Structure 1
Amino acid sequence: MNGVLGFLQTLLAFAGAFGTLVVLHELGHCVVARWCGVKVLRFSVGWGRVVWSWRSRPDGIEWALSSLPLGGYVRMLDARDQDVKHLSEDDLRHEFTRQNVWKRIAIIAAGPATNFLLAIVLLAGLYMHGVEEPSARIAEPAAATPARQAGLHRGDIIVAVGGEAVASWSEMRWQLIRAATDGEQQDVPLTVRRPGRGDYTFTLPAAALNDFDPDSDVAAAVGLALALPPPVLGRVDPAGPGGRAGLQPGDRIAAIDGVPVVDVGAFMAIVRAAPGKQLVLDVRRGAQALRLSIVPEASPAGAGGKGSVTVGKIRVELTGRPDMIVVSDGPFGALAKAVTKVWDTSVLTVRMIGRMLTGDVSWKNVTGPITIADYAGQTSRIGVASYLSFIAMVSISLGVMNLLPIPVLDGGHLLYYSLEVLTGRPVPERFGEIAQRLGVGLLVTLMALAVFNDVVRLM
């Protein structure tokens, strides 16, 4: 039952996010078309057969709800799609192709601009409200990692990356991603605060970020991991290995086989790596010090009990959270931060597309509707703030993708009109038809690749 409810929540979260973004994108086209004097025939929420409609006066726009409630479309008076021979000269003044090139550019650009504007509004609202996030306090870097070699240690708090101040773990990771993708290949200075001792500057060498894989965690790649709380037990399954060994809620695991356990991550790693093997736990229970033996049960690592890798489990819950901070700004600071975030994300997206074209980044990073739906479900279960942040990120991606110079997308039309501005005459109709066919073929290929990558991830 829980699986069915989870699937329905994922489906609704995806439909709500993607459908809303497409509708607002089309609404941007619609509003600017009306401002520019182009006649709008229909604005539909959804696709397919119209199930309800209302015609407004005096402009005569048909506002419709259609049978497939995912996205929508706007239909303008356009001689390329409709027979306009029977229309009067007065009506033809409101036909799309008869408008000057700058009006056509404004109408087409309005869709992606709406997506960017929506992302700015959502992010600014989140920054003003305040978002609780883990601080940028790090765990002990593993030996031989760039972070360890640079001199960082457990408990250090990263307060700036490359000269840019950061307040949270997500901001720190974002600045690392920017540094890894800007193409300059420079060393990255990290400003680190050691509580009670002041601030220090360490340097990550450029080589540590050269082989950045966008499908991986850039922070983990250089040896940076979030500082986790010590392993303190919550609920203990009496029938599981932990319960049978005598573990109780509130117990703190101090050491395993005589080796100190510093945090939850280290504890989980040791247990998972020891299926069927005896472990000796040093336990703190209030003022008591206990020593208990436990044998983790062997369990398949795959989701749903499937998988070829076996890990150890003791069936206990762990309490505690990383150090959390509330990141918030005033109205002007939040707006500036939101605009910067939208710009940086757009630039990063374009850079990643460029690196895919040059072969520096694998095409396996192209994601499709299945992955987007999965993220939609996950963020909706975390909370409203996470879901709205997800919608903002998808809105930015939708805006960027629509601006790509591919025929049938907004960017393709903007390319035609830019050539018209430069040459003084429209692109030949025959050239446009051929380009449209090529554009459709390219989009179908990209969608097939995205779905294939999604299925591979699931498997």
Structure 2
Amino acid sequence: MNFLIELLAFVVAIGVLVVVHEYGHYSVARLCGVKVLRFSIGFGKPLLQWVSPKTGTEWTIAALPLGGYVKMLDERETSTAIPADELAHAFNRQSVWRRMAIVAAGPAANFLLAIVLFAAVFATGVMEPRATIATPAANTLAAKAGFDGDETIVAVRGPHDSEAQPVRSWSDLRWKLLGAAFDRQRLVLSARDAQGTFDFPLDLTQVQEKHVDDNFMSYLGFEPGGGTLSVAAVQPDSAAQKAGLLAGDRLKSADGKRTDNATAFIAYIQSHAGQPVALQVERGTDQAAVQVPLVIIPAAQRDAGSAQVIGRIGAELATQVPSVKVHYGPFESLQLGAQRTWDLSVYSVRMFGRMIIGEASLKNLSGPVTIADYAGKSARLGLSAFLSFLALVSISLGVLNLLPIPVLDGGHLLYYLVEAVTGTAISDRCQLVLQRAGLVCIVALSAVALFNDLARLIHF
């Protein structure tokens, strides 16, 4: 059943993104007076075909849905002469600026789709974790700023700004910190706890781009807190079972330190291999809960990845964090949708640049298997999660196509830009050589992405 959900979600996602991308090319080509011969969704053997009586365009749905194309009237792509009355409608007869507009329209359509999807999510409301932080690890930027844990961050501002930006959720906080880290700014975070609201200075000027990744918030020392960390299952003959932990127990503290975040608790356990850890757990229903003190000795095991000896207790954990439903007005939703699309586009370009110069791992590349996996997971989480995923992939597709690699839209734009500056088009022979080089680049990137997919699948 999960496989069917993943497959259906993947087909819907790819289908929507390809249609939007190619329709961007198609619509601007039509506006520029270019005749479109074929609009194809997918490659290979046609499954369904029909011809528009008004435009003469052949619409096709093909067997392999991993892409699509728009074929336009072009003297360079036909062996027969084009009738004189149709020459004005050929793509190659258009001005360089029109050709650039037609090529750029595909990625632009993907960015517009992302803006609309994000705006729809923001406008309808989405449940997100509240911006409450757990006790930060020692020597992290959050700890140095003075956070103790259990504070809820409510606003962010620059040190010299009079007006603060409200923080509505954990996701909102992450994006604000991510943007500030890219620009290496100093911030002041306003946070509320039981004693009141206080300001915490956060210095992001020394954060390097290599730290701006999936573990960015953890690197800063920010982990979701304020929730409940409970035991989902206990493995037989494990340290957890020997200590008396039961499924359903709620972990309140470890050696007197509050435990409301799984990441921090696991790190603490791993650093105490063979050492007794005093746990305080809450057992039973809320109406009849009792406090139970336990002492657990994490078993010492060698980690396969790092080869270091770490502690394990043999228990599955579940975290329930406080959430808030975030709503925005229509205009504000569009603004936020555009800002989120811009932020993700810039992040994608910077990440790709870091991979090229070796500052980021090529493992960050993902292929169709990972996309299908996340499509299914987001679909099971609900419509808002699936729309957000669709927006994210749409941005990735737009950015990828704008890369200055021959065979991609960005490569063609580079050709036309050279033509616009020099007044001379790049020769067909030179374009052919560049096309082959670009194809090699695309095949190499696809191979790396597919290898990463398989490595994640079988846990290399």
TM-score, normalised via structure 2 length: 0.84
Aligned to 2:175: 174
Alpha-carbon distance change, 333 to 264 in structure 1, aligned in 2, over 3 angstroms:
closer
Which residues of 2 match residues 414-433 of structure 1 at below 5 A?
A: 414-433=413-432
What one-letter code is carried by the residue in structure 2 that aligns with 1:451? L
Q: Residues 194-209 of structure 1: matches in 2 within 5 Å?
A: 194-207=193-206, 209=207
Q: Report the equivalent of 1:81.
A: 77
Is 1:230 paired with 2:228? yes
Matches within 5 A, 1:204-223: 204-207=203-206, 209-210=207-208, 212-223=210-221
Aligned to 1:24: 20
Query: Who is 1:313 aligned against?
Result: 314
| Residues 396 and 100 of structure 1, relative CA distance in 2, 3 Å threshold | same
Instruction: Give the whole-Å Cα distance in 2 for the aligned partners of 1:327 and 1:385.
Output: 12
Cα drift, residue 388 of structure 1:
0.8
User: Deviation digits for residues 335-371 of structure 1, max 9, x if unmatched?
Assistant: 1111111122212222223333344333333333333
Q: 1:442 to 1:149 in 2, by over 3 A?
A: same
| Matches of 2:380 and 2:340, distance apart in 1 | 24
Given that 1:187 and 1:206 are in contact with CA atoms closer than 8 Å, whether structure 2 keeps it comes out as yes
How far is the alpha carbon of 1:161 from its aligned partner? 4.3
How many residues matched?
A: 444
Kept in 2, the 8 Å contact 1:134–1:322? The answer is yes
| Residue 143 in structure 1 maps to residue 141 in structure 2 | no
**TM-score normalised per structure 1:** 0.84
1:20: how far off?
Answer: 2.0
In structure 2, distance between residues paired with 1:232 and 1:408: 52
Q: Is the 8 A contact 2:272 2:311 kept in 1?
A: no
1:42 equivalent to 2:41? Answer no
1:259 Cα deviation (Å)?
3.8
User: Matched residues in 2 for 1:276 and 1:12: separation?
Assistant: 48
Q: Which moved more, 1:186-195 or 1:415-424?
A: 186-195
* Secondary structure of the structure 1 residue equivalent to 2:153: strand
2:162 paired residue number: none
How far apart are the structure 2 equivalents of 1:79 and 1:25? Answer: 24
Partners of 1:272 and 1:313 within 8 A in 2: no
Alpha-carbon separation, structure 2, partners of 1:189 and 1:255: 30
| Aligned equivalent of 1:407 | 406
1:357 aligned partner: 356
Aligned partner letter, 1:416: Y
Q: Which residue of 2 aligns with 1:305?
A: none
Aligned pair partner of 1:262 in 251, 259, 262: 259
What letter matches 2:322 in structure 1?
D
Say which SS state the counterpart of residue 199 (structure 1) adopts: strand
- For residues 288 and 55 of structure 1, the distance between their equivalents in structure 2, rounded to whole angstroms, comes to 73
Amino acid at match of 1:409: L
Identify the match of residue 68 of structure 1 among 64, 69, 76.
64
State the one-letter code of the partner of 1:262.
Answer: T
Q: Is contact 1:300–1:311 with CA below 8 Å preserved after alignment?
A: no
Whether the aligned pair in 2 keeps the contact of 1:273 and 1:312 (CA below 8 Å) is no
Secondary structure class of the residue paired with 1:200:
strand
Query: Which 10-residue stretch deviates more, 156-165 or 235-244?
Result: 235-244
Q: Which residue of 2 aligns with 1:111?
A: 106
Q: Over residues 114-142 of structure 1, what are the superposed CA-to-partner deviations in whole Å (9 max), with x where a residue is unaligned?
A: 10111011011111001110111100111
Instruction: Name the aligned partner's letter for residue 412 of structure 2.
Output: H
The answer to whether the 8 A contact 2:146-2:200 is kept is no
Listed one character per residue, the Cα deviations across residues 145-171 of structure 1 (whole Å, up to 9, x for unaligned) are 221122112122223445354321112
User: Cα–Cα, structure 1 residues 222 and 271, in superposed 2: closer, same or farther, change >3 Å?
Assistant: closer
Task: Flag the 1:150–1:98 CA change in 2: closer, same or farther, 3 A.
Answer: same
Q: Deviations over 1:396-415 (max 9, x none)?
A: 11111111222111111112
- Structure 2 CA distance for aligned equivalents of residues 294 and 70 of structure 1: 52
Measured after TM superposition, the shift of residue 234 of structure 1 is 6.9
Mapping 1:436-451, distance limit 5 Å: 436-451=435-450
Deviation at 1:14, TM superposition (A): 2.4
| Distance of 1:52 and 1:146 partners within structure 2 | 58
The more displaced of 338-347 and 230-239 is 230-239
What fraction of aligned residue pairs are identical, expressed as a percent?
A: 44
Change (3 A) 1:205 1:234: closer
- Answer whether contact 2:230 2:251 (CA < 8 A) is retained: yes
Q: 1:235 to 1:186 in 2, by over 3 A?
A: closer
**Unaligned stretches of 5+ in structure 2?**
159-164
Shift of residue 429, structure 1, vs aligned partner? 2.0
Structure 1 193/264 Cα, relative in aligned 2: closer, same or farther at 3 Å?
closer
Q: How far is the alpha carbon of 1:270 from its aligned partner?
A: 6.3
Distance 1:284 1:323, change over 3 A: closer
Question: Do the aligned partners of 1:20 and 1:71 also contact (CA within 8 Å) in 2?
Answer: no
| Letter aligned with residue 230 of structure 1 | T
CA contact (8 A) 1:191 1:199 kept: yes
Q: Summarize deviations over 1:165-219 as a string: whole Å, max 9, x none.
A: 432111222222223333xx44444333335422313122522x12633444111
Deviations along 1:252-306, one digit per CA (max 9) or x if unpaired, are 44456x645532526666677889998775444426444567788999999xxxx
Superposed, which structure 2 residues align to 1:267-416 within 5 Å? 282-285=280-283, 286=288, 288-291=290-293, 311-314=312-315, 318=318, 321-416=320-415
Whether the aligned pair in 2 keeps the contact of 1:301 and 1:311 (CA below 8 Å) is no
Residue 94 of structure 1 deviates from its aligned partner by: 1.6
Residue type of the alignment partner of 2:210: F
